Structure 1
């Protein structure tokens, strides 16, 4: 081995830098020289506000982290979770070759700029897939069976028996569930729903129909999903192309006894259209873990509705999802250094850049 890598680890309140350091030592210690460890944002409430702003507007809205400014010229690899890696940040790291974020989304990384600069970007797909898929099914049951509403009533001295859907409270058996997005999470939701004996329709234009059939599900077009489903659960990424994917038209196609579940991204649904559908009872209800503004404003109309279940962006937050993800990231980078096929490279075109090839040869020779 000719060269070792100086590395900066920037965790946060959700996954601290020391957890990335533990993963680095376990998998990549033989490739690493100097290691600098810190946290981008240590306050939990601030982290939620800042990361949501970055996810909506991109990393360029944030100032460069002080540790990047201090050590940037030495750094060849940067690992973290929500730390914004903007063009400004990359300019402070002229020798940077690898960016790794231990999350599926890469909204906090300017991937286009990284590719231009010959920097390879890693993410971790499926790190919280088990957690989110569990939660989505829990939200289906909580909303249609009024679990949260009954709990709230009892805590407030009421023995409540009447609910907005009292005339059609459903069992899951025999119902149709529409799954929008068939990546890691969508596939796990389908698998876990199989035990409920439901029909599972899938809409994902990026997945081959054969793969959907192989999972014992039925591919369906968008209109069919909304017309036939008793429950629609969202598991797609938010892109410019699918922002407001669900609006007044789609909601108007749904049965008045149907429910929509969103544990993915709020921007997939038009907020005004959803609130109107709930207020006018065009649909039976919704269960939401993600919102257009977080925390949910105190004057939000959602708080006035009795046919919606609300949770505070909790779906992906389990002990296993958090502790597992830095190791998955470090393990994949190790796989790459050892000449094996990495699973989580975001911009593989960088692998063909001569300067990157030369750097990599110096690291793994």
Structure 2
């Protein structure tokens, strides 16, 4: 006979704990023996700094949050957005069987430790794909057409007509756009750009080339993409060991009239090499929503450049992306209990772990 279980949700300044709790109550309902909620970091400014540190160094750098210490000992499911789920957290939650994050990346989860303990890790693939893909297209236009610079000029009393790229301000029609990464976000960018009548190149070694061709794009190697594209838009995950996807070599391949767009991860780009390329106008410009330091340090050289558009890591923060995330997470977890295959599991090998199988048999209807 199925039994109930306790769920602990830990929110933050981006998605509050009560939003997670409401979603858990709505979706898991009668399966709940208990439901506790708390906050990891409720101040937006501090959240940016702490989440970035965790993404760079892993969840083990953080101490166990007090709400986990007080409410986690008898909880079997832990869910949140950016809350660090380290081996120390797992030690503090001896009954934990599912750890879920309402985001695509699992940088804030020690997946290896979870796997060793028979804990299934859920993530939400594509939860902000619409938002980020919209933003990426917007940045292409904002940077190449000088939208933000013109706005700033007017606000500061200058009716500006001359820009760094004045001799080759482009239209999108007929241009070549290179997408590095063709997952949820990259494929949506391709779809949204189709109406602009562009040529699409894609570099993604994990995606079937036939699927890329079916989307109206051409699969190519990385060097070809950087060499031939008028816009290069990044939609990849961080490389193992912190290796840079875009460094001096890749920037040297780009046309002097080309633009680099990054709405993915700051760690994909060698920032010093990019600053040099922009200063020396080896490329036309760049648009960045992610940065090695957030907020950007006041003395950063990138702030002095006139051929870069900078935004404050807001590509994925639409109302829809945030409000739907907890429901997507708990909806996917609920699939386990009804015999359906979940969509987002970071360590599927745990499904065969005898400890997890025994637990699932107890709670499954």
Q: Shorter-chain TM-score: what band?
A: over 0.9
CA distance in 2: counterparts of 1:338 and 1:161, whole angstroms: 61
CA distance in 2: counterparts of 1:241 and 1:297, whole angstroms: 25
Query: What pairs with 1:88-167 in structure 2 (closer than 5 Å)?
Result: 88-167=88-167
Normalising to structure 1: TM-score of the pair?
0.99
User: Which residue number in structure 2 is paired with residue 264 of structure 1?
Assistant: 264
Counterpart secondary structure, 1:28: helix
User: Which residue number in structure 1 is paired with residue 352 of structure 2?
Assistant: 352
8 A Cα contact 1:3 1:363, kept in partner? yes
CA distance in 1: counterparts of 2:296 and 2:244, whole angstroms: 19
CA distance in 2: counterparts of 1:181 and 1:243, whole angstroms: 16
Structure 2 residue 70 is the aligned partner of structure 1 residue 70: yes
8 A Cα contact 1:243 1:269, kept in partner? no
CA distance in 1: counterparts of 2:313 and 2:2, whole angstroms: 45
User: Which residue number in structure 1 is paired with residue 213 of structure 2?
Assistant: 213
8 A Cα contact 1:232 1:259, kept in partner? yes
Structure 1 segments unaligned to the other structure (5+ residues) = none
Query: What pairs with 1:139-288 in structure 2 (closer than 5 Å)?
Result: 139-240=139-240, 243-288=243-288
Shift of residue 243, structure 1, vs aligned partner: 2.8
Counterpart secondary structure, 2:179: strand
Shift of residue 72, structure 1, vs aligned partner: 2.2
Structure 2 segments unaligned to the other structure (5+ residues) = none
User: Which residue number in structure 1 is paired with residue 311 of structure 2?
Assistant: 311
CA distance in 2: counterparts of 1:262 and 1:71, whole angstroms: 39
The CA deviation string for residues 87-127 of structure 1, in whole angstroms up to 9 with x for no partner, is: 01100011100001000000100000000000000000100
The CA deviation string for residues 156-185 of structure 1, in whole angstroms up to 9 with x for no partner, is: 001000000000000000000000000000
CA distance in 2: counterparts of 1:188 and 1:60, whole angstroms: 34
CA distance in 2: counterparts of 1:73 and 1:37, whole angstroms: 14
8 A Cα contact 2:111 2:121, kept in partner? yes
CA distance in 2: counterparts of 1:278 and 1:254, whole angstroms: 12
The CA deviation string for residues 53-111 of structure 1, in whole angstroms up to 9 with x for no partner, is: 00000000001011111122201000100000100110001110000100000010000
CA distance in 1: counterparts of 2:2 and 2:154, whole angstroms: 67
CA distance in 2: counterparts of 1:317 and 1:163, whole angstroms: 30
CA distance in 2: counterparts of 1:59 and 1:183, whole angstroms: 25
Aligned-pair Cα RMSD in Å: 0.8
CA distance in 1: counterparts of 2:123 and 2:197, whole angstroms: 34
Normalising to structure 2: TM-score of the pair?
0.99
8 A Cα contact 2:239 2:245, kept in partner? no
Shift of residue 22, structure 1, vs aligned partner: 1.3
Q: Which runs of 4+ in 1 moved over 3 A?
A: none
User: Which residue number in structure 1 is paired with residue 3 of structure 2?
Assistant: 3
CA distance in 2: counterparts of 1:221 and 1:157, whole angstroms: 46
8 A Cα contact 1:258 1:284, kept in partner? yes
The CA deviation string for residues 136-156 of structure 1, in whole angstroms up to 9 with x for no partner, is: 000000000000000000000
Shift of residue 239, structure 1, vs aligned partner: 2.7
